[in-house]
Amino acid sequence: MKKKLVVLTGAGISAESGIKTFRDSDGLWEGHNVMDVATPEGWHKNPALVLDFYNQRRQQLKEVLPNLGHQILAELENDFDVYIITQNVDDLHERAGSSNITHLHGELLKVRSSKNESYILDWHADLNFGDIDPKGNQLRPHIVWFGEQVPALEDAITITEQADYFAVIGTSLQVYPAAGLINFTPKTTPIYYIDPKPAKIPNLRNPLDVIPNIASEGVRILKEKLLANLQQ
């Protein structure tokens, strides 16, 4: 039986592939206020802006590649039962070869009905006005916007509760409920925290190993530490 490694990834791992994160630029995401492009209110106020914004993000995604951090996480499946829980909406973990991925905040390459959350389609082209579900409702990006429920959270909690090892990579641990997942790990489960500017984790009961590196370097160090644990 392989040990279960659960990995929570955030924008830091995708940033190395060239995908920008708004949290590093004063609340602006590719020049837009996040409240205008990542909230239900923004969608209702100016859906054309929102559609154009995500069409551009979808095009950008086609121009980037998984980086070494993504690739090493995929390689770890040779020795561990790896589950990735990601806050990222890109498909870089999939393209790197990881098998078990839970997207907390939705997926850029999917769309859904604006009236029926369970009607979801794969979508690689632009999304335009007039693209509708079978009942005539406009399709929208399959993104969990600020203020919306996180449908995948229960699955993520269940996975986290079974972790033998838990790693946090490239996330500020400021976005909830994702940041709260760490509290669902078994109390003896070691936590590895990879971030060049690691945040403090209050009231953590688990053993903690902070790796203050960018994601690709940190994941390489993580692999060495985990494989060393298997030899003990």
Active site amino acids = 105
Token digits for 170? 């490239």
Strands (E), the chain: 4-9, 28-29, 32-33, 81-86, 101-103, 106-113, 120-122, 139-143, 165-169, 191-194, 208-211
Distance separating the N- and C-terminal Cα atoms of the chain: 16
- List the alpha helices (DSSP H) in 3-152: 11-15, 34-37, 40-45, 47-61, 68-75, 92-96
165 C-beta neighbours (distance < 10 Å), count: 22
Q: Residue 39 carries which DSSP code?
A: S
Task: Report the C-alpha gap between 158 and 228 in whole angstroms.
Answer: 27
CA angle 90, 92, 98 (to 5 degrees): 125
Task: Report the C-alpha gap between 68 and 213 in whole angstroms.
Answer: 13
Amino acid identity of residue 90, one-letter, is D
Token digits for 180? 């709260």
